[in-house]
Amino acid sequence: MGKLFGTDGIRGMANQYPIIAELAMDLGRALVFTFANGKPDTNIIVGKDPRISGDMLESALCAGICSMGANAVTVGVLPTPAVAFLVNQANADAGAVISASHNPFHDNGLKIFNKNGFKLSDDVEDKIETLMNAGSTWKLSETIRQTGRVQTWPDADHQYLDFLKSSLPNHFSLNGIKIVLDCSNGATYQVAPALFSSLGANVETIFANPDGLNINKNCGSQQTQALREKVVQVQADIGLAFDGDGDRLVAVDEKGNEVRGDKIMLICATFLKENNQLKHNLLVSTVMSNLGLTHALRQRGILHQTTKVGDRYVFEMMKKTGAVVGGEDSGHIIFADDHTTGDGLLAALKLLEALQYYNRPLSELAGQMNIFPQVLLNIKVKKKPDISTLPKVMEKIESVEKCLVDQGRVLVRYSGTQNLCRVMVEGPVAKETDTYCRSIADVVRESIGSD
């Protein structure tokens, strides 16, 4: 069967293995067995984004859950972090989100949270995979006669919005602030406009009409061109772009410049430090963060810890070190005093709180971090052998690292959700950095590339 879980759940093209109805049903059974086997009144929260294959997978997942005597509590289309919150709120046994995040509509995925609203550890994922790889999850439920039911949670969205607003200071207001929201035709299309409007902002919304096929299409946190143009056109103070399932935030300043996760984290960490809220004086990010973030944090006397790619690994390090802010340049940003996972809407609120505190435009605050030239190339691969076992690739990497000395870095890794090898090079000069990155990518393509 092969490895099912990647860096963020199970993901692939809908109606192709592993994103098939049969596997979703198997997963539903395995979740109940893993988190609540034999426990009466077991509840699993189930949410989704609006892509067209969500209904199919939701039905299968709920069937698997109910076959084990547990209840599937559906909350409809809501952001992934909303489900993490609702699991805690309802004292449920686990949560599942049907989403492929920033991927196009033809992909889908399954993300799991434990009863505390945390993403699963590698060990728990391995246990679930072992159950599913046995190929007979139906045997787990063959003696059950009192099956569960599918229930709905009609005001789940309101409870999530109340939770988000509870993270703000008393009497916080966005009166006089003009915001453009890009909802990516995804899971935030209703809750994001409702949230910022309720706080008094003048809100304009784009890409908030999902039809199941247009999620992430030329919009959202991955493609901000339309948002950048709209912010300048309507003279907004800020633009906020979310991805398909709402756990990422990328901002746009009042001049139309994109402000990614590294700069948002720097602004928020500095704000927390100045207000004596940055516990352990530490920010956690992944190895994909730009060297400019490390330098800017050092200038502010803030410590920096890095992890491998994946926001769940960031959160694991945050729990280990006691850090309260961390995330990824892609826009997954975690505020551990407020939530158990990355949340694009929460990150947006924290950024806006910092902007009000400094009373300065986003362009000025974001401009305090200098970005090292960075080139990232994705190479389609036919297999994923350990990079260290590819002698030609390793030789080229070592050659580039010698040229960069301590003025840059090389990172070569596989995507956890796609058949891609990602080659990233940072260096002091843009043209040379691009040349170095392409030279490594060429060798990767020759060694393991697919047409």
Query: Cα–Cα distance between 349 and 358 in angstroms, integer?
Result: 14
Query: Cα–Cα distance between 106 and 226 in angstroms, integer?
Result: 22
Active-site residue flag, 101: yes
Query: Cα–Cα distance between 276 and 285 in angstroms, integer?
Result: 20
82: left (phi over 0), alpha (psi -120 to 50) or beta: alpha
Query: Cα–Cα distance between 244 and 188 in angstroms, integer?
Result: 8
Contact 267, 351 (CB under 8 A): yes
Query: Cα–Cα distance between 129 and 115 in angstroms, integer?
Result: 19
Q: Which of 101, 285, 289, 330 is catalytic?
A: 101
Residues 6+ apart with CB under 8 A from 103: 11, 109, 216, 244, 417
Contact 45, 35 (CB under 8 A): no
Residues 6+ apart with CB under 8 A from 11: 19, 100, 101, 103, 107, 108, 109, 110, 417, 418
Give, to the nearest 10 degrees, the angle between helix 344-358 and helix 191-198.
30
> Which DSSP letter does residue 373 get?
P
Q: Which residues does the annotation mark as catalytic?
A: 101
